[in-house]
Each structure stands twice: as structure tokens, then as C-alpha cells.
């Protein structure tokens, strides 16, 4: 082993990226990523040592479940000490859900975890797969002047841009730019050079590994890593550490050590507001056995129907201990429940306003937070504040 080489672990879960065309039959079959160096000969110039861990049964990501997120988290945990960074190869359809889930589950993360995939199989001539993979590897291996990883966050790399994973949404089934992070600029853009965004609030490892933790709010709670944010390259990360102080109190391991949270609450669903939705439907959904939480996708800045019977159903659910988060259907902008009467009614019913979080991040955050089985006040606090930079604060 060459000690100067960065050790990057590729976790292969499935998806289009892993497909190559069988020379004889022409059919698509999975590519063996342990042969990545052969497939992409120039990779040796990156001075990385690649290792590969793959799912036994490769998945079309439409079939992904929370149990698979636990599997990915366990694989990262298993290889954490030995690896400098991780690439998760994943289908694009649910990549934003998985990247969001892992960004919450991986606590005190100090290393890059980059999700990528492709629109065309890697074995197809015009594939975006090679480009996405090479750039992800280069970013995962990058260090700042202080020797810390450039990125120490869960990200999505796609279409020449690096995004914070919990900010992404797949918006195109056609373009090579398949993902968008509508409420936060890209953390890095790839052109002739890789341009990392400076002063990026320290939320991500763009500003140095410690900055990341500052953002998490998690560590900021203890003041420990929040303070570390000061060391972040961007300088803005110290501020994020301060944000951390607003986070929920004392629920994370205060030793700052990496760990993967594997308890996820799964009785959570998404209800999308639409004109004509009737009380019967809402009542049925809210009375599902074992329901723990709901992501309510509302209009504009967090508005929903003002019909008293509808609001009474929500209020009743909250009183029964069901958590409801208000997330806007708009790709861009945020929920401000106090802005219109219709939003205010939701607030009065006990619905939690969730700022500019995506539905993908809201769903997985609720799974993560409710999995901790904390007292109600602490749970609401965690759901309302930014834990991983998923909400602009
Ligand atoms: N259905 C595929 C998946 O998500 C699509 C892709 O990989 O882009 O696994």
C-alpha cells in the first residue's frame, strides 16, 4: 500500500451506471467495478487506491428501502477507518432519498460520501457514467491546504456539479443534469478545474471537515465541533458551528466520534395537497395503524385548505402524537406558515413548518429523528432546525 494514495471505497448498490452491453447478445448486464482501473485506465493519475464493496443483489433504485440505507451505512461503518472517502454508486430514481437518509444517519461524519450514478450505462459510448465516476473519485480524494478532506459531507455528484445530498431532487429523466439543488448553490462545479464554493456556510466539508460538524447543529450543541467550524477553510464554518448551538440538545454522542444511526422510524407517509382532496381521504390516511409522521406537501409558502373539518383532522392527528411537517410543493422557496391565514391555521393545528427543506430530506429526516424515540419537545426541535444543512437558517 502506498501511504500517499487516498483510499477510496466504492459501494455499488446497482442502478443504470453499472450496466455494460454484452458483446455477444447486446443485452445490458452489471459491470464488475473491481475492474474499474481497467475500464478507465487514466484513473491511476489520480493517485488513489480503489476498493469495491457491492450489494449481493444489485438494485434498481426504485426498489430501495430503509433497510438498504442501513446496509449502506453499515458498509461505510465497516470501511470507515481504512478509507479516506466513499463513492456510493446508486440508481438515479431515488438517489436524493438515499443521499438525504445517509446524511442524517452518518453522525459526526469527517469524510466524503459521494453518491453518483448515470443516465446512460457506463458501458455505452456516450455514457455520463465515466465522467461522474472520475470526478466523484477526484473530489473524494481531494484535501484542503490544511490536509483535511475538502468535503466531509454526504453529497450527490451529477452533471458536473457537486451538491449537498440532502438538498437534491431528481428533476429530469432526460438530461445529463438530472439533479437540482434549488435552495442552495452547488458545493463545487467541474470545468477545466474543480471550483469549490468558498464561504459555503461551512455546512459541508467544502469548508473543511470540522466545518461540517458545525453545521450539523448536532455537535454544535456541545460546542465542541461547532467551535471547530472556526478551523474550516471557508471561515464561514465557524458561524455554522454557532448554528449548531441552536440544534437539539444532547441527543448525539458528544464525543464527536463517527457513528451510524440505524434505527429508522418507517411508519411515515407523504400527503400531497391538491384541489378537491376530501376529508374522507385525509381521515383514512391519518388513521392508518401505527402512523408516526406525515410530510404534508402544501402549496406555495406552506398553504393548505382552510376548511375547518380538514384542519380538525390534522389537529386531531397531532394530538394523537403524529408529527406533521409542512413542506412546500414548490421546488424553490420556503414554507412561512405565518405569511397567509391558511398557513397560520396549520401552525395553530400543531403542524411543524419546515422552511425550504425538500420532501426527500423531510421524509428521511423524520425517519431518522423519530427513530431516536426522544421526548416530544426535543423531537419537534430537531425537526424544526437544520441538522445537516438541509434547511436554510
Ligand atoms: N431505474 C434506474 C434506477 O434508479 C434508473 C437509473 O439508474 O438512473 O436504479
pTM: 0.88
Provide DSSP, 274-285.
-TT--HHHHHHH
Query: How many Cβ atoms sit within 10 Å of the Cβ of residue 375?
Result: 9
Torsion, Cα 306 310 316 319, to 10 degrees, reads -40
What pLDDT is stored for residue 32 in this prediction? 82
Chosen domain end from 196, 215, 250? 196
Quick one: 89 and 190 in the same domain? yes
Select from 132, 127, 186 the least CA-distant residue to 162.
186
Rounded distance between C-alpha atoms, residue 21 and residue 3, angstroms: 36
Residue 248 lies in a domain: no
Q: Which atom of ligand 1 lies closest to the CA of 60?
A: 9
3-class secondary structure, 327: strand
The answer to whether residue 12 sits within a structural domain is yes
* 170 and 273 fall within a common domain: no
Query: Quick one: pLDDT at residue 187?
Result: 97
> 75 and 188 share a domain?
yes
Q: Is residue 245 domain-resident?
A: no
Question: Considering 151, 172, 196, which residue would you say is the last residue of a domain?
Answer: 196
Residues 6+ apart with CB under 8 A from 145: 233
Dihedrals φ, ψ of 320, to 5°? Answer: -85, 5
- Ligand 1 atom at minimal distance to the Cα of residue 62: 4
Do 257 and 111 contact (CB within 8 A), yes or no?
A: no
> How many domains does the chain contain in total?
2
CA distance 229 to 191: 28
Q: What is the pLDDT of residue 254?
A: 62
- The rounded distance, in Å, linking the Cα atoms of 220 and 382 is 13
99 and 183 part of one domain? yes
Residues 283 and 173 in one domain: no
> Which atom of ligand 1 is the closest one to the Cα of 59?
9
Distance CA 129, CA 227 (A): 39
Q: Which residues line ligand 1 at a C-beta cut-off of 6 Å?
A: 14-16, 60-62, 91-93, 117
Which DSSP state fits 165?
G
DSSP annotation of 303? B
Q: What is the DSSP string of 163-222?
A: EEGGG-EE--SSSS--EE-TTS--SEEESSSEEEPTT-TTTSGGG-HHHHHHHHSTTGGG
d(CA 192, CA 189): 10
Q: 281 alpha carbon to ligand 1 midpoint, in Å?
A: 31
Is 276 within a domain? yes
Q: Is residue 378 in some structural domain? A: no
CATH number of residue 275's parent domain: 3.40.50.40
Catalytic residue (one of 16, 94, 169, 379): 16
Between the CA of 244 and the centroid of ligand 1 the distance, in Å, is: 35
Ligand 1 centroid vs 129 CA: distance in angstroms? Answer: 12
Least Cα distance to 358 among 300, 311, 297 occurs for 297
Shared domain for 185 and 48, answered yes or no, is yes
Same domain, 273 and 174: no
Residues 281 and 178 in one domain: no
Mutate to test the pocket of ligand 1, among 59, 89, 91, 129 (most ligand atoms within 8 A of CB): 91
What CATH number should be reported for the domain holding residue 10?
3.40.50.1170
**221: in domain:** no
Per-residue pLDDT of the chain (393 residues; tens, 9 = 90+): 566 799 999 999 999 998 887 778 888 878 888 878 777 877 878 889 999 999 999 999 999 999 999 999 999 999 999 999 999 999 999 999 999 999 999 999 999 999 999 999 988 889 999 999 999 999 999 999 899 999 999 999 999 999 999 999 999 999 999 999 999 999 999 999 999 998 553 444 343 333 333 333 333 332 223 333 322 333 233 333 333 333 343 345 567 999 999 999 999 999 999 999 999 999 999 999 999 999 999 999 999 999 999 999 999 999 999 999 999 999 999 999 888 888 899 999 999 999 999 999 999 999 999 999 999 999 999 999 999 999 998
Residue 92 appears among annotated catalytic residues = no
Residue 4: its pLDDT value, please?
79
Compute φ and ψ for 293, nearest 5 degrees.
-160, 160
Question: In this predicted structure, what is the pLDDT of residue 174?
Answer: 95
Domain assignment present for 142: yes
Select from 164, 196, 228 the last residue of a domain: 196
Domain assignment present for 210: no
Q: Are residues 138 and 275 in the same domain?
A: no
Q: Residue 54 C-alpha to ligand 1 middle, in angstroms?
A: 16
Residue 253: predicted pLDDT: 53
* Residue with CA closest to ligand 1 atom 8: 92
Residue 30 is part of which domain span?
6-196
Amino acid at each position: 500500500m502506498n501511504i500517499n494514495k487516498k483510499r477510496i471505497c466504492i459501494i455499488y448498490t446497482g442502478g443504470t451506471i453499472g450496466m455494460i452491453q454484452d458483446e455477444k447478445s447486446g443485452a445490458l448486464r452489471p459491470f464488475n467495478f473491481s475492474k474499474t482501473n481497467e475500464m478507465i485506465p487514466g484513473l491511476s493519475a489520480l493517485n488513489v487506491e480503489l476498493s469495491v464493496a457491492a450489494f449481493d443483489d444489485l438494485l434498481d433504485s426504485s426498489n430501495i428501502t430503509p433497510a438498504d440505507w442501513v446496509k449502506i451505512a453499515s458498509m461505510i461503518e465497516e470501511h470507515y477507518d481504512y478509507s479516506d472517502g466513499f463513492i456510493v454508486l446508486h440508481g438515479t430514481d431515488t438517489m436524493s432519498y438515499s443521499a438525504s437518509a445517509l446524511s442524517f444517519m452518518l453522525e459526526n461524519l469527517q469524510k466524503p460520501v459521494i453518491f453518483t450514478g448515470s443516465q446512460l450505462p457506463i458501458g455505452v459510448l456516450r455514457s455520463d457514467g465515466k465522467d461522474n465516476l472520475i470526478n466523484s473519485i477526484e473530489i473524494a480524494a481531494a484535501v484542503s491546504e490544511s490536509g483535511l478532506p475538502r468535503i466531509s459531507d454526504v453529497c450527490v455528484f451529477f452533471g458536473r456539479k457537486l451538491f449537498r445530498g440532502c438538498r437534491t431532487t431528481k428533476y429530469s429523466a432526460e438530461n445529463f443534469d438530472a439533479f437540482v439543488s434549488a435552495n442552495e448553490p452547488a458545493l463545487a462545479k467541474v470545468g477545466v478545474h474543480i471550483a469549490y464554493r468558498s464561504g459555503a456556510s461551512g455546512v459541508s466539508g467544502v469548508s473543511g471537515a470540522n466545518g461540517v460538524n458545525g453545521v450539523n447543529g448536532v455537535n454544535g450543541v456541545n460546542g465542541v465541533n461547532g467551535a471547530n467550524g472556526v478551523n474550516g477553510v471557508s471561515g464561514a464554518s465557524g458561524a455554522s458551528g454557532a448554528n449548531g448551538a441552536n440544534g437539539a440538545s444532547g441527543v448525539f454522542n458528544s464525543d464527536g466520534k463517527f457513528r451510524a444511526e440505524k434505527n429508522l422510524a418507517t411508519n411515515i407517509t407523504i400527503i400531497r395537497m391538491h384541489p378537491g382532496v376530501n376529508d374522507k381521504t385525509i381521515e383514512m390516511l391519518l388513521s392508518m395503524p401505527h402512523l408516526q409522521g406525515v410530510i404534508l406537501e402544501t402549496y406555495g409558502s406552506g398553504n393548505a385548505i382552510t376548511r375547518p373539518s380538514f384542519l380538525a383532522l390534522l389537529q386531531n392527528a397531532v394530538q394523537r402524537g403524529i408529527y406533521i411537517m409542512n413542506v412546500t410543493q414548490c421546488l424553490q422557496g420556503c414554507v412561512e406558515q405565518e405569511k397567509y391565514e391558511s398557513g397560520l391555521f396549520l401552525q395553530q393545528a400543531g403542524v411543524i413548518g419546515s422552511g425550504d427543506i425538500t420532501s426527500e430530506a423531510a421524509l428521511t429526516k423524520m425517519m431518522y429523528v423519530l427513530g431516536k424515540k426522544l421526548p416530544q419537545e426535543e423531537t419537534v426541535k430537531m425537526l424544526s432546525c437544520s441538522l445537516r444543512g438541509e434547511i436554510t437558517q
